[in-house]
Amino acid sequence: MSWFRRVEKGIVTPTEQKKETPDGLWHKCPECKTVISKAEHRQNLYTCPSCDFHDRVNSHEYFEILFDDNEFQELDENLSSSDPLSFVDTKPYPDRIVATQRKTNLKDAVRTAHGKANGVDLVVACMDFNFIGGSMGSVVGEKISRAIDYSRKHKIPFLMISKSGGARMMEAGYSLMQMAKTSAKLALLSEEKVPYISLLTDPTTGGVTASFAMLGDFNISEPGALIGFAGPRVIKETIGKDLPKGFQSAEFVLEHGFLDFIVHRKELKQRLADLLTMLAEPQATPAVEPAVAKAVAK
């Protein structure tokens, strides 16, 4: 083992010659603590290869995941919030909007777009949690409504990806009106028999759960997503009882009949395309061919 023995003693590398590992190369799973490279994490569509933990991602990533070659036409991209109530908390609402826009490079908490997923036309509205907690204000409600109108006009299926803390406090009553507005638009979409799929991701809560997120022809979710109306602490204090284990997880919600299925992010695009292709197929052919039916009638 002489080759293994350190012959020269006291080797010290000067600080300036030490090689630094570049920051931000690694990703540590918050659930099982597995460390993988950022590139691998991205390749895994931001899910953990060991425990399947789904990291929160935003519209940028979902559009990349869903749309073929990341090609899409964004709708109403420049809608931005005004300040109907002259609301001030720790800072005036318009200042908060401008600061958040600068930080996130987004105009508001939802982006809407039309593109193709595995060749199937699809309109997607995807919420951004990093914009004031994905809160639903007038702009969010209006953009979703306009995207539904677009779906209805062009007869293209609509996918809503929800990720929200609920209504936006700074717009109070105006936020709550968005629940009724979006629900009414979805009713019109349903009348036209255009499919609506609602994907609930971590977390989907408050007024969003209480309106469009639960109104899909299919309500689906990612594994482990938090889905609920009020938070567990509030419910516990109200009913004065301990809550069951796994309460408000996607799996619990599925078991209690509020979801149709849970889909892994890696299978999302294919499952959606399959589902939409199936829904788009012409109405079921009659069990008996018309010619045969005539012969039988004779």
Contacting residues toward Zn ion, per CB under 5 A: 29, 31-32, 34, 48, 50-51, 53
Nearer to Zn ion, 30 or 290 (CB): 30
Q: How far apart are CA 76 and CA 145, in angstroms?
A: 11
Nearest-approach distance from CB 40 to Zn ion, in angstroms: 12
Q: How far apart are CA 83 and CA 169, in angstroms?
A: 12
Nearest-approach distance from CB 232 to Zn ion, in angstroms: 23
126 is in an annotated binding site: no
Nearest-approach distance from CB 175 to Zn ion, in angstroms: 35
Q: What is the DSSP string of the chain?
A: -GGGS--S------GGGSPPPPTT-EEE-TTT--EEEHHHHHHTTTB-TTT--B----HHHHHHHHSGGG-EEEESTT-----TT--BSSSBHHHHHHHHHHHHS-SSSEEEEEEEETTEEEEEEEE-TTTGGG-B-HHHHHHHHHHHHHHHHHT--EEEEEEE-SB-GGGHHHHHHHHHHHHHHHHHHHHTT--EEEEEEEEE-HHHHTTGGG--SEEEE-TT-BB-SS-HHHHHHHHTSPPPTTTTBHHHHHHTTS-SEE--HHHHHHHHHHHHHHHHSPSPPPSS-HHHHHHHH-
Nearest-approach distance from CB 32 to Zn ion, in angstroms: 3
Nearest-approach distance from CB 29 to Zn ion, in angstroms: 3
Contact by Cβ (8 Å): 28, 35 = yes
32 is in an annotated binding site: yes
Tokens of 80: 């931005």
Nearest-approach distance from CB 27 to Zn ion, in angstroms: 10
Nearest-approach distance from CB 52 to Zn ion, in angstroms: 7
**Which residues touch 127 (CB under 8 Å, ≥6 apart)?**
59, 109, 110, 134, 140, 161, 162, 163, 164, 208
- Annotation: binding site for Zn(2+): 29, 32, 48, 51
Which residues are documented as binding site? 29, 32, 48, 51
